[in-house]
Structure 1
Amino acid sequence: MADQHTRGEAARELRRLTEWAADLAAGGIGALPERVRRRAATILVDDLAAMAGARTDRQVTEVAALAARRGPGAEATLLTRAPDRAERGWAAFANGVAANWQELDEGYRRATCHGGLYTVPAAVAECEAEHAALGRALTSLVVGYEIVTRVARAYPAPRPPALHPHATLSPIGAAAAVSAARGHTARTLADAVSGAASLAMVGPFAHAGRGALVRNAWAGAGAQAGFLAADLAALGVAGSDDGLASVFADGLDHPVEPAALTEGLGERYAVEDGYHKVYACCQYAHAAVEAAHALRAGPLASFAPDEVASVRVETHPLALTLDGDRPENVLAGKFSVPHAVAATLVTGSTAPEVFSAEWLGDRAVAEVRGRVELSEHPAIGDPPHDRPARVTVELRGGARHSHEVVSALGGPDRPLSAGDLLGKIDALTAGRYPYFGEVAAVTLGEGVDWDVPLADLLARLTADAGEGTR
């Protein structure tokens, strides 16, 4: 529980943050440095591709159909069923579910937080419904991302985390993005944020490792809650000025670091510290997956799975919690370091299919998975070197091979090249939306028109072969 001095300090810093954010939103896309616009555009198209890519999962498309039934209307596009549309809140719900279903959405590296996931579904739905421009959507994304990631840093979750950030933080990111898109005052924006914090869900982090699929619904539900918080704030229905401390410090027993809400504000934007996933599993496992793949591509290029005597994974504390060795479904597999490493070693690949249902029951994967042991890495550094992994494979003949990855590919210190990112986007979308990759490349290019209506951009991204790029 926070003392009165700390609570007051945190409330003052939140006011400073929301005043800055409201001014930024009022200035529009022109108020953002060019590098920040580019980063925001990258986050947008990456997360939209993650949504579209989830269309191959039956449950995701059924969620979209549910949204269309429960929220009838033509306000916002359902990315897994375009050109189908729904009321903006329900569209944000369905798109939020889709965005994190395959574990390929963008994330934030300085805290346990997926800034894009918590802002993009709501910002896109709101701006499309209001016929706003791409620039407005990106500005709203930047504002929501800045606020939710600073909240995550100011109220850092205990480690290992008991609750999942998709449940506790997504309403805040969504509310901030929607409020920014609507041009709310700083006071109303602050009320939306505090109100959204009180609408957070108590979603156990362990649900992911146990394969409880409701975990994939939290970000979507948070998007809906964010709309509600923004709507209520505009009516004067809000939480208290110290609402964040009441929720996170008093209710969830998080520590409080008020300075994190404003330190360096406007110097380096939070979107600049995001990462992009190339491996379809929890980011905590990425360094281990990359190390296993390097071994398979190198000294173990011709090995047989039955030659493996043991696999030792030395990694960071967050990854040590992902220790399930008998995942019951795809979600559990994505949150299992033993499974992710075993599947990578057996297949020699890190393609999204490696983390799908196809390999969960594979005998060779199961045998190697049972030989994986996790232990703490002996030399964990400062960010971004705080999530390392060393994988050591010992063969039955006595040979031993190791590879270490200090920081996984995709983070701000090892960013994806434009070609690699567009390759990921094309792989996720080409089967249903053949022009998505082409339009995404233009959106990320030098000549992008920030004033293009977002609805027009979404229509071009999701056009099928019969429609062309319209």
Structure 2
Amino acid sequence: MTIVTPGIVPASVLLAEPRPAWLEEWARFAASFSLDRLEPEVVAQAKLVMLDCVGAMAAGMQEPELSALVRRMARRGEGNVAAVGAGIRLRGDDAAFVNGVAGTTLELDEGNQFARGHPGIHVLPAALATALEGRRSGADLLGAFILGYEIGARAGAACRLRPTVHPHGTWGTIGAALATARLEGADEPALMEAVNVSATLSVAASLRSMLEGATVRNSFCGFSNRNGLAAWDLVASGFTGESDSLRSVYGSILAEGFQPEVMVEQLGSRYELQRNYFKRHAACRYTHAALDVARMLLAKHAAIDPAGIVEIEVETYAHAAQLDSAEPSNMLAAKFSLPFALATTIVHGEASVPAFRQAALDDPAVRSLARRVTVRENPAHTALLPAKRPASLTIRLADGRVLTGETMTNRGDSVDPYTPDEVREKFFELTVPVWGQIHADKVHAAIDTIDLTEGTEALDALLASPPRAAAR
């Protein structure tokens, strides 16, 4: 039968296509993967990423809406997996969900500039739940986490999401499913099936949610973890997926193109978590280049009176320039407002968690300065993506001075990384207020030695400890 309507391909043509070669190669790689064969630097980086994710989860769990969500989840019955920093254990799928939500709430979770998203927090909650319920070793957990991160990050790098799609809740589902399947001993065919099923369980995540401050956006990563677990449950029960679902979903539905060669480029010799970034500014990564320049100018020129700033001009790449709203409605919207992020950084000296809370949102000095920030795209900056994330700042002062600065990269990127000690310092900044120094030290030590432990019960017991405020 001949079809003349554009975009509709006959089933006889679609079904004649073979299983993609990259997926078979990936399944062989994942099935034979061994933590023992990795370079020590890869293992060390994986532990740092895991540590960073746990810190983000524990701190995010203290937000009022997370506390309320955990209480609602517990109404369905408690389980044996920690809701990190909440002082309660939930069913595995519920714990994976709330931990994923908590990990993105403060906008401090690590990410990957080549994937254009946050692979770690899309994988770790599901992997933690699966490892604990399956009584797997710490080395099994760490290895599965590395694999899940790897395939999720590569899927993100291989596609070009539509401009209206938020990366949270999309390709991260594949990483969660692969880590889960690996922990449950899946063979090559089952691993391929898990990838194909999970790709079709991605969230239709709207980018506008983050711009409006619609906090449902914080749930997208939680759904990736929950749906990754569900994908494996389906495969283990006999359900099947499309033969090439990544191409379907990320070639034409959620994205505008899929490059399968990226999925296996230097597979096994280049690990994507070594090309990750860590965050110190509690705001969208797209604001970080401008915030880095602002911090540099603040340090160089000592005190800059916000009231003496006439105007701030920002030139940056397209995705950052999109964040031009100067009137955020809540904390989440403020984290995705480049004018507000700059203003609160200058007023408070840093883009810390408190710098985006209600007191800062209500601060007339911050609000006034944000309205004096103009943002525009520089196409030359956009052309440098994804390897570079440039921004140029011009600050015009009432006394006639003009301060300028520029950066091509963000602090924390793989080309300008934070040191391991700086990442650990961030972890303690996030977790000491939750658990206290002694307990935070124990969590750090448990993650640092995770590959040497017979099980994950000890780590879960630490993560299940109640926050200090609840313990009093």
TM-score scaled to structure 2, two decimals? 0.91
What does residue range 41-440 of structure 1 map to in structure 2 within 5 Å?
A: 41-70=47-76, 72-82=77-87, 84-158=88-162, 161-299=163-301, 301-377=302-378, 379-380=380-381, 382=384, 385-434=387-436, 435-440=438-443
Task: Provide the C-alpha distance between the structure 2 equivalents of 1:460 and 1:250, rounded to a whole number of angstroms.
Answer: 43
Please, which moves more after superposition, 219-228 or 354-363? 354-363
SS at match of 2:418: coil
Q: Give the aligned residue type for 2:376.
A: S
**Unmatched tracts of structure 1, length 5 or more:** none
The equivalent of 1:33 in structure 2 is 39
- Counterpart AA for 2:262: A
Identity %: 30
Paired residues of 1:77 and 1:86 also in contact (CA < 8 A): yes
Q: Check 1:254–1:379 CA distance in 2 against 1; reply closer, same or farther (3 A cut).
A: closer
Residues 128 and 454, structure 1, Cα contact 8 Å, conserved in 2:
yes
The letter for the 2-side match of 1:327 is: P
Deviation sequence 1:320-362 (CA, Å, 0-9, x none): 1111110000000001111101111111223222122221121
SS at 1:75 equivalent: strand
CA shift in 2, pair 1:392/1:460, >3 Å:
same
Change (3 A) 1:439 1:382: farther
Report the CA distance between 1:436 and its aligned residue.
4.4
Number of the residue aligned with 2:24:
15
Structure 1 residue 85: Cα displacement = 0.4
Deviations 1:198-225 (A, max 9, x none): 1111111111010011000111112111
Number of residue pairs aligned between Structure 1 and Structure 2: 457
Q: Over residues 185-210 of structure 1, what are the superposed CA-to-partner deviations in whole Å (9 max), with x where a residue is unaligned?
A: 12111111111111111111111010
Aligned to 2:3: none
Which residue does the alignment assign to 2:4? none
Change in Cα spacing, 1:105 to 1:9, as seen in structure 2 (3 Å) is: farther
Contact in 2 for aligned 1:279/1:350 (Cα 8 Å): yes
Tell me how far apart the structure 1 counterparts of residues 123 and 268 of structure 2 sit (CA, whole Å). 19
Structure 1 residue ranges (4+ consecutive) displaced by more than 6 angstroms after TM superposition: 1-5
Q: CA contact under 8 A between 2:115 and 2:157: conserved in structure 1?
A: yes
Deviation at 1:398, TM superposition (A): 2.0
Separation in 1, partners of 2:17, 2:264: 14
CA contact (8 A) 1:377 1:390 kept: no
- Quick check: 2:275–2:413 contact (8 Å CA) kept in 1? yes
Separation in 2, partners of 1:112, 1:281: 15
After superposing the two structures, state which structure 1 stretch, 139-148 or 448-457, moved more.
448-457
Preserved contact between residue 409 and residue 416 of structure 1 (Cα < 8 Å) = yes
State the distance in 1 between where 2:417 and 2:119 align: 17
Asked if the contact 1:436–1:462 (Cα under 8 Å) also holds between the matched residues in 2, the reply is no
Give the Cα–Cα distance (whole angstroms) in 2 for the partners of residues 312 and 88 of structure 1: 48
**SS of match in other structure, 1:392:** strand
| Structure 2 unaligned spans of 5+ | 1-6
Q: Which amino acid aligns with 1:342?
A: A
Whichever residue aligns with residue 79 of structure 2, its letter is: A
Letter in 1 for 2:99: N
Aligned AA for 1:50? A
- Look up the match of 2:453: 451
Alignment CA distance shift 1:402-1:272 (3 Å): same
CA contact (8 A) 1:111 1:156 kept: no
Deviations 1:121-154 (A, max 9, x none): 1001111222222211111111111111111122
RMSD of aligned Cα (Å): 2.3
1:239-286 per-position Cα deviation (integer Å, ceiling 9, x unaligned): 111111222223235212110111110111111111111111111111
